Amino acid sequence: MSKVLLGSRTRLAFVAALALVLVVPAAASARTKAPAGSAASCELSVFSWWTGGGEAAGLTKLIGIWNKSNPTCQFKNETVAGGAGSNAKAVLAQRLSANKPPDSFQGHAGKELQDYIKAGQVEPIDFIYKQYGLSKIMPKQLISQITYKGHLYSVPVNIHRANVLWFNPAVLKKAGITSVPTTWAQFIAALDKAKAAGVIPLALGEQWTQKHLFETVLISTLGQSGWDKLWTKGGNWNSAGVKTAVDRFNTLLTKYTNSDAGSLTWQDAGKLVADGKAAFNVMGDWQDGYFSGTTAGGNLALKPGKDYGWAAVPGSVGVYDWLSDSFTLPKGAPHRAAAIKWLGFLGSEKAQDTFNPVKGSIPARQDAKTSLYGPYLKWALTQWKTDKLAGSLTHGVVANNAWNASIDTALGLFIQNHDAAAFQKALVAAHGKNAS
Ligand code: GAL
C-alpha cells in the first residue's frame, strides 16, 4: 500500500517537474531579457538541479558573470528542483529522447556521464580542452572519468566530497561527547549519548540522502579497495563485509534517526543540526555552502568551526568519497556556439573560484586561489591531495543510472521492511544485472 502511494507521489512530482520545464520554461527561469535590438534568439539554456542552498547561490554568481559578458546571449536557467537530481534526471531523459536538449546540462563525471555518451546524446569536446588548455589543469583521475574511447565529453566545474560527518559542537558538548568519533564504535557511543541527551542523534532526509548515508557506511566498513571492487564484474555483494555494512546502516535507521526522514530535504535534515535539534548529519559538502552562505542567498550564515563542525564519516578517515559536477555539449544544442563558450567559461579559473567557495566544493582546476576558500574547503583541499579516492554511487561515479535505479528500488523496500537479508540479496541481484 505505502509502496503504491510512494510510486504515485514520485510520478506526480515528475509530471509537475516535467510540465515546469517543457511547458512554461520561463517560469522556472532566472532569465534576463536581452537588450532591445540584440540577437534575442540567442539564449543559453542550462539544465541543472541547483535550486536551493549554496547550489542556487553559486549558480547565480555564474549567471551574473555570464550575463555581463554576454549581453546578446543571456542565460536561461532551466532548473528542476530536487537534491541530487532526484527529479531532474528523469526530466532530462525525457527531453533528450524527445530531441529537446538544453544547450548544456549537468551530468556527474563517471558512469552517469557515460550513459549519455553511449546513448549518443552528447558531443565530444576535445577541441574545447585544446582551445582553453584544460587538460593540463584538471587532475588526471578526473580526466579519466570524463574520457570515453579517447575523447573528452564534459567540463567539470568542481569536486565534491560525500563522506562528511557534520555536527553541532554545542550539542555535542551538552551531550557529553568530548571528541568527534573516528571509529564505528566511537560513533555508536556518541549517538547513544546524544539520544540520552534528548536530541536526534543523526538527522536524515529523503530517500536519496539515505542512499548517500548507506554509501558512506559501506566505504567505512569495506575500506576504499573493498568499495572499488564492488563495482567490478567480480565484486562480491554477498560478503560478510557487505552484511556488516547493511546491519550497521539498519541500526542507524532504526535507532538513531528522525522518524520523519522521508519527508525532509537534505537542507531540512542539515537544519536540524544547525538548530541544535540534532547532533550529527552525514551529507556532501554542498552542506558547507548551505551552512555558511549568506541569508540573502537563502542560506544559514553560520560560523564554520564554531556553529558547525565536520570530520570524515567514522571509519573512513583518509578516504575521499568524491564526485564531480560536469557540464556537457548535447547533440543538437539549440545554441551550440554559446554552449561552447559556456563550457570554456566553466573551465576558467574565474568561474571556478567564484562558484566553488559559495557552492561548497573545491575547484576541479588544480590552480585554485586557496585564500578564497573558507575553513571547511581549505580542509577539503588538503584532504583531496592526500586521501585515497573512492567514487560516489549516489552521485554517478561508480554506477550508471540503471544500476542506481536497481539499488533505489531495493532501498525503497528496505526502508519500509528493514529486512537486511532481503536487501543484501537484492543488492547481489543488482550487481548481477548491471556490472560490466
Ligand atoms: C549532487 C550534486 C551536487 C549537489 C547535490 C545536492 O548530486 O553533485 O552538486 O547539488 O547533489 O543537490
Give me the sheet containing 278-283, strands edge to edge.
200-203, 278-283, 164-167, 309-312
Q: What is the structure's pLDDT at 20?
A: 41
Determine the distance separating the centroid of ligand 1 and the alpha carbon of 128, expressed in angstroms.
Answer: 25
Q: From the CA of 357, how far away is ligand 1's center (Å)?
A: 15
Q: What is the pLDDT of residue 132?
A: 95
Give the pLDDT confidence score for residue 8 in this predicted structure. Answer: 37
Whether ligand 1 lies within 6 angstroms of the CB of 215 is answered as no
How far is it, in rounded angstroms, from Cα 343 to Cα 17? 26
Q: Are 3 and 416 in contact (CB under 8 A)?
A: yes
Q: What's the 267 CA to ligand 1 centre distance in angstroms?
A: 12
Give SS3 for 362.
strand
Ligand 1 atom having least distance to the Cα of 394: 7
Using most ligand atoms within 8 A of CB, pick from 108, 212, 286, 326 the residue to mutate for ligand 1: 286
Is it the case that residue 39 has pLDDT exceeding 60?
no
Q: Say if ligand 1 is within 6 A of residue 159 CB.
A: no
**Which atom of ligand 1 is the closest one to the Cα of 323?**
8
Relative to the CA of 48, which ligand 1 atom is closest?
10
User: Given this chain, do its domains 42-161+324-386 and 164-321+393-434 carry the same CATH topology?
Assistant: yes
Which residue's alpha carbon is nearest to atom 7 within ligand 1? 84
Region 16-41: mean pLDDT is: 42
- Whether CATH 3.40.190.10 fits 164-321+393-434: yes
Q: Which three cell numbers stand for residue 72?
A: 546578446
Q: Give residue 436 CA to ligand 1 midpoint distance, Å.
A: 26
Instruction: Tell whether ligand 1 has an atom less than 6 A from the beta carbon of residue 289.
Output: no
Measured in Å, residue 76 CA sits from the centre of ligand 1 at 20
pLDDT digits over 304-336, tens only? 999 999 999 999 999 999 999 999 999 999 999
* 80: nearest Cα among 17, 19, 12: 17
Q: Work out the pLDDT band at 368, boundaries 50, 70, 90.
A: confident
Mean pLDDT of 261-277: 98
Whose grid coordinates read 547533440?
Answer: 331
Which pLDDT value is given to residue 36? Answer: 41
Tell me the percentage of the chain whose pLDDT exceeds 70.
91
Pairing of strands 309-312, 164-167: antiparallel
To test the pocket of ligand 1, the residue of 323, 361, 404 to mutate (highest count of ligand atoms within 8 Å of its CB) is: 323
User: How far is residue 308's CA from residue 297's CA, in Å, rounded to a whole number?
Assistant: 19
pLDDT at 82: 96
User: Does the CB atom of residue 393 touch ligand 1 within 6 A?
Assistant: no
Domain boundaries, the chain: 42-161+324-386, 164-321+393-434
Residue 289 alpha carbon to ligand 1 centre in Å:
12
pLDDT-derived band at 40, boundaries 50, 70, 90 = low
User: How many angstroms is it from 83 CA to the middle of ligand 1?
Assistant: 6
Taking residues 151-168, report their average pLDDT. Answer: 98
pLDDT of residue 32: 42
Q: Whose CA is nearest to atom 1 of ligand 1?
A: 84
Tens-digit pLDDT profile for residues 63-103: 999 999 999 999 999 999 999 999 999 999 999 999 999 99
pLDDT digits 0-9 by tens, 182-208: 999 999 999 999 999 999 999 999 999
Of the CA atoms within 13 Å of residue 22, those in its CB half-sphere come to: 19
DSSP state of 52: S
Radius of gyration of the chain (CA): 21
The answer to whether the predicted template modeling score (pTM) of the entire model surpasses 0.85 is: yes
Q: What's the pLDDT tens digit per position in 244-257? A: 999 999 999 999 99
**Residue 398 to residue 232: CA distance in whole angstroms:** 9
Q: Which residues contact 258 (CB under 8 A, 6 or more apart)?
A: 200, 203, 204, 264, 269, 272, 278
- Phi-psi group of 106: left, alpha or beta (phi > 0 → left; psi -120 to 50 → alpha; rest → beta): beta
H helix intervals, 231-335: 240-251, 266-274, 286-292
* 3-state SS class at 76: strand
> Which residue in this structure is represented by grid cell 507521489?
9
Give residue 173 CA to ligand 1 midpoint distance, Å.
31
- Answer whether 288 contacts ligand 1 (Cβ < 6 A): no
DSSP string, 118-134: HTT-B---HHHHHHHT-
* Beta-sheet pairing, 155-156 with 200-203: unpaired
pLDDT band at 12 (very low <50, low <70, confident <90, very high): very low
Query: How does DSSP assign 14-48, residue by residue?
Result: HHHHHHHHHT-GGGG----PPPTTS-TT-EEEEEE
All three cell numbers of 328: 556537457
Dump pLDDT digits (tens) for 230-245. Answer: 999 999 999 999 999 9
Look at the chain and count its residues: 436
Instruction: State the pLDDT at residue 53.
Output: 87
**Bridge partners of 312?**
164
C-alpha cell at 108: 556527474
* Residues in contact with 363: Cβ distance below 8 Å, sequence separation at least 6, in sequence order: 157, 158, 159, 349, 352, 353, 356
How far apart, in whole angstroms, are the C-alpha atoms of residue 165 and residue 158? 20
Regarding the domain delimited by 42-161+324-386, which CATH topology (the fold level of the hierarchy) does it fall under?
D-Maltodextrin-Binding Protein; domain 2 (3.40.190)
Establish whether residue 323 lines the binding site of ligand 1, counting it when its CB lies within 6 angstroms of any ligand atom: yes
208 lines ligand 1 (CB under 6 A): no
The whole-angstrom separation of Cα 217 and Cα 46 is 34
The predicted structure's pLDDT at residue 21: 40
CA of 82 to the centre of ligand 1 (A): 9
Rounded Cα–Cα distance for residues 265 and 262 (Å):
8
Average pLDDT score, the chain: 92
